[in-house]
């Protein structure tokens, strides 16, 4: 029986290779429609009539990179949007939204500040939900007592994050890799910086950055272009045009290795190693992305996973990834292991990285990675939520509208030489930051 299985399987796999080349034509790409409103909002829309629902993301270039010496300011501003608007209280906003079965949320990271709405698409549900979304974006109350309360909640959140060796390692890593660059500081701010925040600064931040020319709206759902156009005007037509946020300064490359060990009362030690990596639209994007997929990005199949976990049982999760941003975002390798094994695990990680930079991938690895990435492409755009996250990225970083259509072709075209060259030019193990947080042994 086992023999039979082997035979069948290899027969099947060779069949699949044929199938693979046929894939790009076999399914429909999302029909991305793009326009700019009169006040300057960039809009990206994909109709999805299959389910009676709509997803809307309104994204501003108003993340923590705009904190300007007041860490935590961008996130506080974003949090307060739905804590009262157009004279409605936080209670009233939440009650109205949730009585419609809609979901309204705010979130912010280093570059983006987002307000999202998910709603049923019939008029009786969607219209009132849009009204509230418009209020939250254009008419926040910024009430003093909401500000004080949310500040207290954030302080508790910051204290709790100090309990986690993994979070402490992340904070320290960004600080060390990005130094004086706006990517360096914590999105949440620190206890001291959040205590020092002033409501007037929040209002000024809002006025500067929550403007039409600084916004991207992504919509996926059960509506047509005409309805989408009306919808956008309704939620964001009242925003002043304003100015787009200034371009961020380039990230300086690291010039020498840096290592820091932080004692934490934990049974495991968390390791973060890396450097500035690449940016959105980077000419080396595809070689670096595929190369890293082979080294540490490919889920249960990667060199780091094989060396650290499968061969040696040293870590539950071990991976590496590039986070491309407007400027070079981090290239980050991480693992966690029992305190007394950290030196061994770190040595294996370093050697695996160095080998890859020196010699690059094998033929077989490159073929397997391309098959995984291109063959898995339909999964990325199989749901409304998958599509909207791509729209948001394309819009925010001004990527070409055919980004999704050309993706597989660009992956397929990458050569081993391009990967070797890109890694040797862009990844320098000898000048990386290494952060080690855990218990002493």
Partner 1 sequence: MRSMLSIFLLLGSQMTLAAGAVSEYQLENGLKLVVKEDHRAPVVISQVWYKVGASYENDGITGVSHVLEHMMFKGTDAHPPGEFSRIIAENGGRENAFTSKDYTAYFQRLEKSRLAVSFELEADRMRNLHLQDKEFQKEINVVMEERRLRTEDKPTALTYEQFMASAFVSSSVRIPTIGWMNDLENMELADLQAWYRRWYAPNNAIVVVVGDVEPEAVLALAKKYFGPLKPEEIIPPKPRLEPRQQGKRYVNVRVPAEVPYTIMGYKAPVLGTAEEDWEPYALEVLANILDGGDSARLTRELVRGSQIATSAGAGYDLYDRQAGLFLLDGTPAGAHTIAEVQQALFEQILRLQEALVAADELARVKSQVVASSVYEQDSSFYQAMKVGQLEAVGLDWKLADAYVDRINAVTAEQVRAVAKKYLVEAQLTIAELDPLPMDTGSTPRADSNGGGHEQ
Interactions with partner 1, residue window 140-169 (CB under 8 A): 149, 152-153, 155-157, 159-160, 162-165
Indicate which single residue of 381, 393, 394, 433 sits in contact with partner 1 (rule: CB under 8 A).
381
**Segment interacting with partner 1 (CB under 8 A) among 31-39, 120-128, 228-236, 238-246:** 120-128
What is the per-residue binding string for partner 1 in 384-403, x denoting contact by CB under 8 A? xx------------------
Residues forming beta bridges with residue 320, ordered by sequence position:
333
Residues forming beta bridges with residue 332, ordered by sequence position:
274, 321
Number of residues lying near partner 1 (CB under 8 A): 91
Residues numbered 247-306 forming contacts with partner 1, rule: CB under 8 A: 263-268, 298-301, 306
Considering the rule CB under 8 A, would residue 350 count as an interface residue with partner 1?
no
Residues numbered 41-60 forming contacts with partner 1, rule: CB under 8 A: 50-53
Residue 326 CB, nearest approach to partner 1 (Å): 28
DSSP code of 140?
B
Residue with smaller CB distance to partner 1, 246 or 300: 300
Render 13-38 in DSSP notation, one character per residue. HHHHHHHHHHHHHHSPPP--EEEE-T
Indicate which single residue of 175, 372, 389, 418 sits in contact with partner 1 (rule: CB under 8 A).
372
What is the number of helices (H) and of strands (E) in the chain? 17, 13
Distance CA 319, CA 224 (A): 41
Considering the rule CB under 8 A, would residue 131 count as an interface residue with partner 1?
no
Rounded alpha-carbon distances, angstroms, from residue 150 to 42, 76, 85, 194, 421: 31, 8, 15, 10, 49
Dihedral angle sign, alpha carbons of residues 91, 97, 101, 106: negative
Indicate which single residue of 252, 316, 402, 409 sits in contact with partner 1 (rule: CB under 8 A).
316
Residue 36 CB, nearest approach to partner 1 (Å): 28
CA angle 337, 338, 344 (to 5 degrees): 65
Considering the rule CB under 8 A, would residue 107 count as an interface residue with partner 1?
no
Residue with smaller CB distance to partner 1, 33 or 339: 339
Considering the rule CB under 8 A, would residue 21 count as an interface residue with partner 1?
no
Render 158-186 in DSSP notation, one character per residue. HHHHTT-HHHHHHHHHHHHHHTTSTTSS-
Distance CA 400, CA 137 (A): 27
Residue with smaller CB distance to partner 1, 160 or 225: 160
Residue 170 CB, nearest approach to partner 1 (Å): 14
CA angle 395, 397, 401 (to 5 degrees): 50
Rounded alpha-carbon distances, angstroms, from residue 308 to 8, 19, 319, 329: 33, 34, 10, 25
Residues numbered 72-101 forming contacts with partner 1, rule: CB under 8 A: 90-91, 94-95, 97-101
Indicate which single residue of 21, 230, 311, 406 sits in contact with partner 1 (rule: CB under 8 A).
311
Considering the rule CB under 8 A, would residue 347 count as an interface residue with partner 1?
no
């Amino acid at each position: 029986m086992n023999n039979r299985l082997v035979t069948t399987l290899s027969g099947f796999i060779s069949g699949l290779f044929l199938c693979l080349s046929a894939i790009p034509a076999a399914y429909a790409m999302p029909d991305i429609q793009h326009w700019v409103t009169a006040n300057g909002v960039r809009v990206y829309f994909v109709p999805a009539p299959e389910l009676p629902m709509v997803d809307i993301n309104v994204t501003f270039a108003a993340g923590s990179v705009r904190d300007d010496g007041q860490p935590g300011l961008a996130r506080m501003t974003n949090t307060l949007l739905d804590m009262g608007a157009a004279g409605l209280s936080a209670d009233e906003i939440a009650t109205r939204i949730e009585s419609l079965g809609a979901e309204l949320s705010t979130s912010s990271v280093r570059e983006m500040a987002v307000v999202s709405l998910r709603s049923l698409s019939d008029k009786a549900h969607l219209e009132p939900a849009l009204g509230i979304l418009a209020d939250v974006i254009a008419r926040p109350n910024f009430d003093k007592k909401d500000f004080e309360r949310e500040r207290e909640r954030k302080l508790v959140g910051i204290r709790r994050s100090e309990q986690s060796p993994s979070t402490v390692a992340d904070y320290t890593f960004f600080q060390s890799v990005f130094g004086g660059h706006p990517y360096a500081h914590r999105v949440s701010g620190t206890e001291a910086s959040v205590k020092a925040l002033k409501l007037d600064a929040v209002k000024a931040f809002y006025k500067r950055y929550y403007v039409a020319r600084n916004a991207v709206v992504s919509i996926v759902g059960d509506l047509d272009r005409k309805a989408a156009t009306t919808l956008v005007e309704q939620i964001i037509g009242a925003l002043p045009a304003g100015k787009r946020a200034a371009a961020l300064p380039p990230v300086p490359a690291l010039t020498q290795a840096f290592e820091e060990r932080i004692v934490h009362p934990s049974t495991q030690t968390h390791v973060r190693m890396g450097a500035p990596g690449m940016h959105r639209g980077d000419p080396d994007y595809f070689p670096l992305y595929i190369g890293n997929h082979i080294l540490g990005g490919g889920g249960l199949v990667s060199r780091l996973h094989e060396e650290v976990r499968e061969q040696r049982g040293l870590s539950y999760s071990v991976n590496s990834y590039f986070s491309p941003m407007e400027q070079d975002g981090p290239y980050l390798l991480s693992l966690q292991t029992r305190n007394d094994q950290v030196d061994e695990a770190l040595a294996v990680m370093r050697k695996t990285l160095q080998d890859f930079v020196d010699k690059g991938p094998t033929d077989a690895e490159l073929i397997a990675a391309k098959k995984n990435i291109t063959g898995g492409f339909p999964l990325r755009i199989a749901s409304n939520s998958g599509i909207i996250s791509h729209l948001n990225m394309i819009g925010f970083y001004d990527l070409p509208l055919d980004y999704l259509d050309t993706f597989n072709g660009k992956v397929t075209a990458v050569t081993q030489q391009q990967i070797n060259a890109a890694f040797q030019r862009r990844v320098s193990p000898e000048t990386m930051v290494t952060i080690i947080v855990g218990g002493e042994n």
